[in-house]
Amino acid sequence: MSTEAIPAKSASTAFWQGARLSIPVVVASGPFAMLFGAIAVDNGFSVFEAFLMSAAVFGGASQMVGIELFGHHVAPWLIVLSIFAVNFRHVLYSAAIGRSLSHWSAPKQAIAYFLLTDPQYAFAESEAQSGRKVSFVWYMGAALTVYFFWNVLTLAGAIAGTFIPDTSALGIDFLLPIYFLGLVMDFRKRPLWLPIVIVSAIASIVAYKTVGSPWHVSLGALAGVALAVILPPSHSGIGTDPEHLP
Amino acid sequence: MSTTFWIIIAGAIATYLTRVGGHLVLSRFETIHPRVEAGLNAVPAAVLTTLVAPAALGAGPAEWVALIISGLVALRGGLMSMFLTGAVVLILARQFVA
């Protein structure tokens, strides 16, 4: 039953299945890794510091915000707080996916949470939803592939410096929203999917216009989650699905 | 070590706390209330939508066409085909809508 018990051959299969899933993520996030590296060096980071930030933080949007503030000579504590704010949505991912990773050992879980990005969360959640036990090897196959390319491409971008062609003509700047839309669509079979999407969309747009980025992510998400909490749990399919019975 | 180094390390610790924190808080409870469970099940659609909606609103016709067509492809195909379709449509649409 446990993931540790699976033989070596199927473990390597699981790893590559995970890695294969992450190819679109590498394609979509790769240009941002290079862009981050180039901007970081442009804003006064050394090549090593740019690489270190990608390797240690591993969160694209927060790295971009951090480097932008660094370039404006903002107080260090405010930069750290901003990184925390941009990444705050991970608290929700972590709370939600914990149920599906709890059969792993503590060190494995500790490593897995370090690599818990937006797409990684979506992969794991979708795997758990399909009824399979989330395998650690499979999880690492997807996570390490993205991690590897994220760091290598940051390094490449930092070394290349500001030499990045016109990103707009290639559509690179809008690849991530398209990709995230695909992830949203992946969950369309869930109860209350459409109402949650509508509420989160409206709330995030209102928050974006009033409070501003990056808080629109957490506020918009909380609005969608609140809808599911407020409505009777039977609307979310809880209590009707045998999987949820005690 | 430089200030930059410590900003990176503090930022990394703050990020790790967000990634492990939700689970650590929740695992302290033995049973999960049905409403909490309903809320957790709403997380993927809720969070991922906020990464699309404001970006879509701030974009133009080329981006809208790409989102609509790739969204329709997602109803039938997988994530990869949806993503590649969106990318191709976006690049083509930007050639015409300048």
pLDDT tens column, A99-146: 899 999 999 999 999 999 999 999 999 999 888 899 999 999 999 999
Window 50-89 of B, Cβ < 8 Å to A: 50-57, 59, 63, 66-67, 70-71, 74-75, 79-80, 82-84, 86-87
Query: Do B47 and B87 fall into the same domain?
Result: yes
Amino acid in position A139 = Y
CA A123 to CA B21: how far, in whole Å? 20
Nearest to B49 among A80, A201, A222 (CB): A201
Three-point CA angle B8, B14, B20, nearest 5°: 130
Q: Where are the domains of chain A?
A: 3-187, 188-246
* C-alpha radius of gyration, chain A, whole number: 19
Residue A181 token pair: 């839309």
Residue by residue, DSSP assigns A139-195 as HHHHHHHHHHHHHHHHHHHHHHTT----TTTTTGGGHHHHHHHHHHHHTTTSTTHHH
Q: Say if residues A140 and A116 touch (Cβ distance below 8 Å).
A: no
User: What pLDDT digit, counting tens, does each position of A68-104 carry?
Assistant: 778 777 788 878 887 887 788 899 999 999 989 999 9
Q: For chain B, what's the residue count?
A: 98
Residues of chain B where predicted confidence (pLDDT) is lower than 70: 98
Q: Do B15 and A101 touch (CB under 8 A)?
A: no
Q: What was the pLDDT predicted at A239?
A: 62
Cis peptide before B44 (omega within 30 of 0): no
List the single residue in A with minimal CA-CA distance to B98. A169
Q: Do A236 and B53 touch (CB under 8 A)?
A: no
Work out how many domains chain B is built from and give that number: 2
Query: Do B51 and B26 fall into the same domain?
Result: no
Return the closest-CA partner of residue A200 out of B79, B91, B39, B61.
Answer: B39
CA B85 to CA A229: how far, in whole Å? 35
Query: Do B24 and B49 fall into the same domain?
Result: no
Report the complex ipTM.
Answer: 0.85
Return the closest-CA partner of residue A24 out of A167, A181, A221.
Answer: A181
Q: Do B39 and A70 touch (CB under 8 A)?
A: no
Chain A environment of B5 (Cβ under 8 Å): 49, 52
> Taking the alpha carbons of B71, B72, B75, B76 in that order, is the dihedral positive or negative?
negative
Residue B37 located in a structural domain: no
CA B90 to CA B94: how far, in whole Å? 6
Three-point CA angle B3, B16, A46, nearest 5°: 30
Residue B93 located in a structural domain: yes
* C-alpha radius of gyration, chain B, whole number: 20
Query: Do B46 and B21 fall into the same domain?
Result: no
Mean pLDDT of chain A: 85
The answer on pLDDT for A166 being more than 60 is: no
Cis peptide before A214 (omega within 30 of 0): yes
Q: Say if residues B93 and B69 touch (Cβ distance below 8 Å).
A: no
Residue B36 located in a structural domain: no
Query: Percentage of residues in chain A with pLDDT exceeding 90?
Result: 49
Amino acid in position B84 = L
Q: Do B26 and A84 touch (CB under 8 A)?
A: no
Query: Do B57 and B98 fall into the same domain?
Result: yes
Query: Do B56 and B96 fall into the same domain?
Result: yes
Query: Do B47 and B26 fall into the same domain?
Result: no
User: What pLDDT digit, counting tens, does each position of B5-27 carry?
Assistant: 999 999 999 999 999 999 998 88
Q: Do B19 and A169 touch (CB under 8 A)?
A: no
The 3 state secondary structure assigned to A117-141 is: CHHHHHHHHHHHHCCCCCCHHHHHH
Chain B environment of A81 (Cβ under 8 Å): 14
Domain with B1 in it:
1-30
Query: Do B49 and B97 fall into the same domain?
Result: yes
CA A210 to CA A224: how far, in whole Å? 18
Residue B97 located in a structural domain: yes
Q: Do B39 and A28 touch (CB under 8 A)?
A: no
Nearest to B19 among A94, A178, A244 (CB): A94
Say whether residue B92 is in contact with chain A using an 8 A CB cutoff. Answer: no
* Local structure of A7: helix, strand or coil: coil
Nearest to B54 among A110, A122, A205 (CB): A205
Return the closest-CA partner of residue A183 out of A24, A20, A19.
Answer: A24
